[in-house]
Amino acid sequence: MADCIFCKIAAGEIPSNKVYEDRQVVAFYDLDPQAPVHVLVIPKEHIASAQEIGPENSGVVAHIFEVIAELSRELGLEKGFRVVNNCGEDGMQSVQHLHFHLLGKRKMGWPPFPPER
């Protein structure tokens, strides 16, 4: 997809610090890390958001979670980790190409938002 920064990273047109790549997915370190380990796992195919997942493309999402489990072992996240998908405007998605944040090596907070007053 023209003008999609993650499509360009997937195609190698924009440099990134890749930790994993296969035919379907790429994983690379986030530019603005929110934890000592912060990796983004994306499909190479352009899927705009989690709202666009259906029977025709959900296979790559299952594969992404297999990759996440493998990466968690390779990156030393035996104590656990968090996977985050921000979707749409309310989800504060800033890059319109489906991606999963893999965050680890620190204790995470919950809930992930301040209580409403």
Query: Is 38 considered catalytic here?
Result: no
Q: How far apart are CA 105 and CA 36, in angstroms?
A: 6
Our finding on whether 28 is near ligand DGP (CB under 6 A) is yes
CB of 40 to ligand DGP, least distance (A): 6
**Residue 79 vs residues 4, 53, 66, 71: alpha-carbon distances, Å:** 34, 30, 18, 13
Residue 13 or 78: the one with the smaller Cβ distance to ligand DGP is 13
Of 21, 35, 48, 86, the residue at the interface with ligand DGP (CB under 6 A) is: 86
Binder among 19, 27, 93, 104 for ligand DGP (CB under 6 A): 93
Handedness of CA 58, 60, 64, 65 (dihedral sign): positive
Please state, in angstroms and rounded to a whole number, the distance separating the CA atoms of residues 55 and 94: 25
> Which helix H or strand E contains 23, and what residues bound it?
none
- Report the distance separating Cα 93 and Cα 96, nearest Å: 7
Query: What mask, x for binding ligand DGP by CB under 6 A, covers residues 31 to 70?
Result: xx-------x------------------------------
Active site residues: 99
Contacting positions for ligand DGP (CB under 6 A): 5, 16, 28-32, 40, 86, 92-95
